[in-house]
Amino acid sequence: MNRKRIRDIRNEELIEATIVAVHNHGYSVVTMADIAREAGASAASINYYFGSKEGLMEATMRHLLRKLRTAMIRGYKTSHSPTDRLYAVMDANFSDQLFTVEQCSIWMQFWANAPYSPHLARLHRLNRARVRSHFRAELRHLLPAEGVETARQALQNYMDGAWLQAALSDQPLDPVAARAAARRVVDLVLS
């Protein structure tokens, strides 16, 4: 049991260090040594845990996806109308824990590299499909059938675009303002 604990703790630490290091240096140029330095460990020990740099990156991506999913589930629990659930999806994506420059930045780096890594591409596709079906399900209750797809594209692309812009921001983000802006867009699309 304790055997597992240590491993999990170390994994978590190394993944957090990966997020910071990738944000600081960029996915394309970040080195194992950078990450190791950030984590206060050695490059060799990272390979001990994750097997390879690619394994580490994949694990980091999974970590971020899990974070997003739990944020979404949390929001859904307290929402009782289609509109509230739309707000909840937005709130999850722009939650305090997720909507930081570091994480938007690394998210975009993963997106950009997905086409060249089957693992990343698969994770990305799954996530996107899940969000899409959430949007569709709620919008169906709020709009005539022929308007659903356009509204869904407007909302989902808005989210992606907002993250993209956030990743390139040179100032700290304001999640509260982002959530308010997102709700205004939802309202605009539903009006």
Q: How far is the CB of 120 from DNA (least distance, A)?
A: 15
Q: Is residue 42 involved in binding DNA (CB under 7 A)? A: yes
Q: Which is nearer to a second copy, 13 or 174 (CB)?
A: 174
Q: Which is nearer to a second copy, 11 or 117 (CB)?
A: 117
Residues that bind a second copy (CB under 8 A): 25-29, 105, 108-109, 111-116, 121, 124, 128, 147, 150-151, 153-154, 156-162, 164-165, 167-168, 181, 184-185, 188-189, 191
Q: How far is the CB of 67 from a second copy (least distance, A)?
A: 20
Q: Is residue 30 involved in binding DNA (CB under 7 A)? A: yes
Among 24, 52, 81, 150, binds DNA (CB under 7 A): 52
Name residues whose C-beta falls within 8 Å of residue 167's C-beta, 6 or more positions apart in sequence. Answer: 101, 104, 105, 107, 108
Cβ atoms within 10 A of the Cβ of 128, count?
A: 13
Name residues whose C-beta falls within 8 Å of residue 35's C-beta, 6 or more positions apart in sequence. Answer: 14, 17, 18, 21, 22, 43, 46, 56
Name residues whose C-beta falls within 8 Å of residue 55's C-beta, 6 or more positions apart in sequence. Answer: none
Q: Is residue 171 involved in binding DNA (CB under 7 A)? A: no
> Which among 42-50, 79-87, 141-149, 172-180 is the span making contact with DNA, rule CB under 7 A?
42-50
Helix (H, G, I), strand (E, B) or coil at 17: helix
Euclidean distance between CA atoms 13 and 39, whole angstroms: 7
Among the listed residues 11, 169, 62, the one whose alpha carbon sits nearest the alpha carbon of residue 105: 169
Q: Are 38 and 17 in contact (CB under 8 A)?
A: yes
Q: Which does 165 bind (CB under 5 to 8 A by kind): a second copy, DNA, none?
A: a second copy
Q: Are 11 and 49 in contact (CB under 8 A)?
A: yes
Among 20, 27, 37, 53, binds DNA (CB under 7 A): 53
Euclidean distance between CA atoms 25 and 179, whole angstroms: 28
Q: Which does 167 bind (CB under 5 to 8 A by kind): a second copy, DNA, none?
A: a second copy
Q: Which is nearer to DNA, 42 or 165 (CB)?
A: 42
Question: Which residues would be at the binding site for DNA (CB under 7 A)?
Answer: 2-3, 6-7, 10, 30-33, 41-45, 47-49, 51-54
